[in-house]
């Protein structure tokens, strides 16, 4: 897709135009997330397609000590996966935080609560004591009602169109139906940012 955008911006071979391929990848990622999210909500009934779900294992459970008088409960959480460059992995914005598709403790599936304020209400329900709940706040996923020893690791499945760290030969993380729209929008961004190629060498090649 990077080559496709480069060709759209520079349909004729030219020694006068140089576009950083990392910049093109950034344009693609900038529009892919929102366009794919819209497609999932409007065309796919809210169901996240398997081809954009990425799996991450060995996520370390950490503790957060609240600073308050008379003691507070320790909060357990794990941080969302990061890219090879240490930037946060971008998760699709979907209703009900469905971009965080699934969290597992071993083979046990944890239950999503979309708002931490609702956790206590959820835990008051009959039979709720047998479940572990999670709720995301920014780049942290907080855990409730479970036992998380120091050696505890979790797994997470997330929906993402973030291509950071991927090889250009790999399939771009989106669905085929959305690709033409992504290319079109990335081309628009590139056209705005770099303008039309100029024949700086005066060699008649534009």
pLDDT of residue 85 exceeding 50, the answer is yes
pLDDT of residue 179 exceeding 50, the answer is yes
Between these two residues, 66 and 170, which has the higher pLDDT value?
170
Q: What is the pLDDT averaged over residues 75-97?
A: 89
Between these two residues, 170 and 122, which has the higher pLDDT value?
170
pLDDT digit string, tens, across residues 150-174? 788 899 999 999 998 888 888 889 9
pLDDT of residue 204 exceeding 50, the answer is no
Between these two residues, 183 and 9, which has the higher pLDDT value?
183
Of the listed ranges 84-88, 114-118, 139-143, 183-187, the least confidently predicted one is 114-118
Contact 135, 115 (CB under 8 A): yes
Q: What is the pLDDT averaged over residues 33-41?
A: 95
Domain ranges of the chain: 2-11+18-194
């Amino acid at each position: 897709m990077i080559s496709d955008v480069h060709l759209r911006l520079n349909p004729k071979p030219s020694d006068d135009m140089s576009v950083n391929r990392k910049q093109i990848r950034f344009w693609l990622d900038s529009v892919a997330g929102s366009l794919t999210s819209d497609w999932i909500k409007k065309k796919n009934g809210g169901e996240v397609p398997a081809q954009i779900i990425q799996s991450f294992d060995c996520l370390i459970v950490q503790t957060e000590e609240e600073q308050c008088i008379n003691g507070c409960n320790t909060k357990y959480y794990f941080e969302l996966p990061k890219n090879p460059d240490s930037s946060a992995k971008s998760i699709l914005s979907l209703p009900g935080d469905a971009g965080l598709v699934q969290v597992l403790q071993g083979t046990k599936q944890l239950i999503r609560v979309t708002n931490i304020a609702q956790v206590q209400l959820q835990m008051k329900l009959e039979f709720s004591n047998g479940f572990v709940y999670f709720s995301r706040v920014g780049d942290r996923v907080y855990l409730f009602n479970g036992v998380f020893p120091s050696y505890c690791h979790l797994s997470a499945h997330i929906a993402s169109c973030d291509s950071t760290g991927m090889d250009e030969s790999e399939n771009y993380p989106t669905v085929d139906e959305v690709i033409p729209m992504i290319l079109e929008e990335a081309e628009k961004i590139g056209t705005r940012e770099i303008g039309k190629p100029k024949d700086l060498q005066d060699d008649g090649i534009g």
